[in-house]
Amino acid sequence: MKNIFLAIAFLVCGMNYSFSQTVAPAQLTDLITKAIDNYPKLKEANEYVSLSEAKKDLAYGAYMPVISGDASYRYGKPTPSISFPVGAGVFQEVSFLPANNFDLGLKVQQPIWDFGRTGANIKKSKSDIATSKDNLESVKNALAFQVAQVYFGIVFLNKSVEVQNEQIKLLEANEKLISDKIKNGDALKFDLLSTQVKKNNALNRLIDLQTQLSKQYDMMNMVTANSGYDYITAKDADGNLFNADAVNADNNFDIKVLNDKLATSNWDVKIAKRGWLPQLVANASAGYKNGFVPDINKLLFNYNVGVGLNIPIFSSARPNFQTKIAKINLQANTYSLEAQKLSLNKDIAQAKNEMAATMSKLKNYELQIEQANEALSLANVRYKGGVITNLELLSSQTNLQDAQLGKIQLEYNLLLSKLDLNRIGGSKFW
């Protein structure tokens, strides 16, 4: 029985955990996928990853032998020679070097040991790959949150358009009611003109909202390669979709990239210090050349094998200056990382304060909408009974609309704050 209760408790906890996960709407996920596939900036970042991997392969190439084919001709005079007597009063001249020198061969140089210089370069190139990959993920993250911001902007603008359309319908109904009252002598033309002015203002606000909606669609179409102005079908957005309680600046992609650069700077220092270390190399060559006694003009096959040790004594590369530069760069990257963390922590604190203020305002707006609805109902009754003027009725209608639009704007602002916090925290929600 105890085991059964434990199993049930585990199942319930698991269900609660699964329901608490952030899951983006399917349409938003689809739009983010399209943006990632389409946006040129991401393709550029992908190329930089490929470039970093190619540089890593190039660094490994320092372990490989260098093979070269050489062919040379040299004419030189004078040529050393000795005269040998070969008979009575007869001498024969023997030359030790030919005037025409030919050298054809294949040469191989194989690094044996460079005291960790190549290994450090390879590790630096791997650090560069990590930087490129984190940069790619950073661009993806920024693009996904940009798409989400535009997506929810469209959703909330659609809600605002609905509220505005309802206001226009209400004003049109009032306009008809007043027209009928004027015919019966129960209202003044002033009331009709006031209502028409309100309606025209509402129509202008509707045009502004529709223009903003078109601009948001233009932005969405640019990053996703979509077309049209009405394909986002969501009617509402869940304000609890994004959890911003556990945001941590250490997960920010800018911080990750700076940490990668810091690792690269460390390797730059180690590589610079290795500039004074020697290099052990094996050399081998084989080919044909002349100049061998006794027949110095005949091309003969020859080969040689050896080992060489290259010890830097006075190097034009100036390892001391390179080490100094690398250390300065390392320290600068360290300060940059610290400054970025301070800035992000400040952004997180400010965003959380804004969220708290927005949530408090939302509660006030919810109460305000409730009160405005009740006030409008009373105003309609009183207006039909002739107790209040048309201007007082219009004021009640405007108060309700302003409260509704204000609530929509605050809900959007709250969602944007949560989105921004998740972006700072490097969250992946799609």
| SS3 at position 361 | helix
Asked, as a colleague might, if the bond just before 111 is cis with ω within 30 of 0, I would say no
Reported confidence tier of residue 12, pLDDT bands at 50, 70, 90: very low
pLDDT digits (tens, 9 = 90+) for 201-221: 999 999 999 999 999 999 999
> Mind listing the pLDDT tens digit for each residue in 217-276?
999 999 999 999 989 988 888 767 777 777 888 889 999 999 999 999 999 999 888 888
- In sequence order, what are the residues at sequence separation of 6 or more whose Cβ sits closer than 8 angstroms to the Cβ of residue 292? 298, 300, 302
pLDDT at residue number 134: 93
Confidence of residue 92 (pLDDT cuts 50, 70, 90): confident
- Domain ranges for the chain, please list them: 23-64+115-276+316-424, 65-113+278-311
Whether the predicted pLDDT of 302 surpasses 90: yes
Could you tell me which of 153, 158, 186, 144 has the C-alpha nearest to residue 416? 153
| pLDDT at position 5 over 80 | no
Give which of 249, 36, 325, 266 is closest to 128, Cα–Cα: 266
Structure tokens belonging to residue 132: 């490129």
Burial class (CB in 10 A: 0-12, 13-18, 19+), 382: middle
Any residues with CB less than 8 A from the CB of 372 and at least 6 apart, and which? 396, 399, 400, 403
In angstroms, the CA 175 to CA 181 distance is 10
Contact (Cβ atoms closer than 8 angstroms) between residue 341 and residue 249: yes
Rounded Cα gap, residues 48 and 76, in angstroms: 53
Query: Among candidates 226, 44, 208, which has minimal Cα distance to 150?
Result: 226
DSSP class of 188: -
Identify the residue with better confidence: 84 or 15: 84
Please answer whether residues 124 and 264 qualify as being in contact, where contact means their C-beta atoms are separated by less than 8 angstroms.
Answer: yes
- What's the mean pLDDT in 292-301? 88
Alpha-carbon span 362 to 162, nearest angstrom: 19
Q: Count the Cβ atoms, other than its own, within 10 Å of residue 403.
A: 21
Beta strands 66-75 and 279-289, pairing class: unpaired
Contact criterion met (CB below 8 Å) for 389 and 188: no
pLDDT of residue 21: 43
Asked whether residue 20 carries a pLDDT value surpassing 50, the answer given is: no
The pLDDT of residue 317: 61
pLDDT at 287 over 50: yes
Q: Is the pLDDT of residue 380 over 50?
A: yes
Helix axes of 117-184 and 26-38: crossing angle, nearest 10 degrees: 130
Give the pLDDT score at 147.
Answer: 94
pLDDT at residue 152 above 80?
yes
For residue 244, give both structure tokens.
């911003």
Average pLDDT over residues 52-81: 91
The CATH architecture that domain 65-113+278-311 belongs to is Single Sheet (2.20)
pLDDT at 18 > cutoff 70: no
**If you search the block for the tokens 């609905």, which residue do you land on?**
162
- Residues 177-198: tens digit of each pLDDT: 888 878 777 777 887 888 888 8
Q: What rounded mean pLDDT belongs to the chain?
A: 86
The pLDDT value recorded for residue 8 is: 35
pLDDT attached to residue 22:
53
Name the residue among 289, 297, 292, 262 with its Cα closest to residue 130: 262
73 confidence band (pLDDT: 50, 70, 90):
very high
Kindly report the pTM of this predicted structure.
Answer: 0.75
Tell me the CATH class for 23-64+115-276+316-424.
mainly alpha
Write the CB contacts of 164 (distance below 8 Å, at least 6 apart in sequence): 202, 205, 206, 209, 401, 405
Q: What is the pLDDT of residue 110?
A: 93
| Each residue's pLDDT tens digit, 316-343 | 667 788 888 899 999 999 999 999 999 9
Mean pLDDT of 158-163: 92
Residue range 164-185: mean pLDDT, rounded: 85
The pLDDT score that the predictor gives to residue 275 is 83
Answer yes or no: same fold for 23-64+115-276+316-424 and 65-113+278-311: no
- What is the per-residue pLDDT for 212? 95
pLDDT at site 23: 61
Within 8 A by CB and 6+ apart from 391, the residues are 191, 194
Residue pointed to by tokens 């945001």:
247
- Examine the pLDDT at 6 and tell me if it is beyond 60: no
Concatenate the DSSP letters of all residues of 396-427 into one string: HHHHHHHHHHHHHHHHHHHHHHHHHHHHHTT-
Residues making up the chain, counted from first to last: 430
Give me the helices (H) in 242-287, please: 253-273
In the predicted structure, residue 14 carries a pLDDT above the cut 80:
no
Other Cβ atoms closer than 10 A to 323: 19
Q: For 391-424, write each residue's pLDDT tens digit.
A: 888 888 889 988 999 999 998 988 888 888 888 8
Q: What is the pLDDT of residue 164?
A: 92
Look at residues 267, 323, 282 and name the one whose alpha carbon lies nearest to residue 128. Answer: 267
Each residue of 123-137: pLDDT tens digit?
Answer: 999 999 999 999 999
Q: Which two tokens stand for residue 5?
A: 């209760």
